Amino acid sequence: MKGLKKILTSRSKFGNKKILEADGTRSDSKLESYLKRRLDMLNISYHQQVSHVLMPSFRYKGELIRQIAYKLDFVVDGRYAVETKGFFTADGKIKWKLFLHQYGDRFEGCLILRNQKQCDEFVSRYLLK
């Protein structure tokens, strides 16, 4: 029975709770949900969970090698790439650097927001000018 309880819990492998929003969308963490609510409240345009291909799929000796993609939390106002993360895994750090290398110049700013205070500062400093 102990194993059954573990199967029924719905947390990510890093312990983040998936948040079901009032509009039916899902956020991957409480911090992501917090920023989403702030942007919605202020009617600031954004796209959530935007996937960027870092390396396309290819064939190697007949075997298909899957693409490597980075799923960015938000593209805000078409100008800012925003990641809401408490911490990065080793893979996450590498993917973030690859994302910056390939796509960083397309944005006015690429930011990592680590807490609610930083989310509030981002909104007031960059979006409410």
Query: Between residues 1 and 99, which one has the greater pLDDT?
Result: 99
pLDDT tens profile 88-125: 899 999 999 999 999 999 999 999 999 999 999 999 98
**Mean pLDDT, rounded, for 48-62:** 96
- Give the Cβ contact number of residue 82 at 10 Å: 24
What's the mean pLDDT when you consider all of the chain? Answer: 86
**Which residue is listed with tokens 């009617």?**
43
Per-residue pLDDT at 7? 30
**Mean pLDDT, rounded, for 24-30:** 78
Sign of CA dihedral 119, 125, 126, 129: positive
The Cα 37–Cα 19 span in angstroms is 12
The Cα 52–Cα 105 span in angstroms is 14
The Cα 16–Cα 75 span in angstroms is 21
Per-residue pLDDT at 4? 35
